Every structure is written in C-alpha cells, then in structure tokens.
Amino acid sequence: MATVNPFMNSLREDNLIDDREIAFVADITCTNGNRGRAWFFLNGCMLHLYKMVGMADRGEHIETLNLKGAEVLKASSFVLNTSLKLKCDGEIYTFKGFAQAKKVITCITESSIYRQ
C-alpha cells in the first residue's frame, strides 16, 4: 500500500507541482539580490520559490520563474557538490546543495523548452 505524503498532496492541490513531483530545498544566490535557503517547486515550466520554514512546511512566496527560454549555464549532479546555474529573464540564479540532482537538473532543463 502506497503511503500518502500530506506535504506533496498540499503542493499538488495548490498547483505548485505536476506529476514529476519536483520539490527540493537548495541554497540560492541570484544577481537580483535574493540569497539563502529556499523551497523550489516545479510545475510545467514554472519554478516557484518559497521561503523555507521547515522540512515539511513552506513559508511566504518569494518569486516564480517562467523557465521557457531559460538557459542552463552549468550543472553538476555529483553527490558531494550538486549545483545548477540558470539564466532566466536576464538574472543568474545559482542553486547548490540539493537532493536528487540528476532528476532536478533534467526536469529544469526540459522545462526550459517546455511547451504547454
């Protein structure tokens, strides 16, 4: 019997994730001044950033990135140094220290050319 994850269910209900279930925590730095640890949720080509309150709770909404046309500049799925550098709407976002790096990087790369 499959276990139900209430956190993931709430994300699905709020339309923050799709069937790929991409929800991860990472350290972020951005050329727009945003920096810190945050939750990231991917639905289609939209990457939603939320303040991290806890491992099973999200805080306030920070920003939403439309990944259509975004460019993955550099990525590493090496388990001891996961990272992703992304150019989106003229800003450079760097994500570090996230789990399931290969899946996250693949889905974000695919979303940059995603067609709804």
pLDDT tens sequence across 58-88: 889 999 999 998 999 999 999 999 999 999 9
Share of the chain above pLDDT 90, in %: 78
Closest CA to 77 of 95, 55, 50, 93: 95
Angle at 115 between CA 111 and CA 116, to 5 degrees: 110
Q: What is the mean pLDDT of residues 84-104?
A: 96
Report residue 83 CA to chain centroid gap.
12
Which pLDDT band holds residue 3 (cuts at 50, 70, 90)? Answer: confident
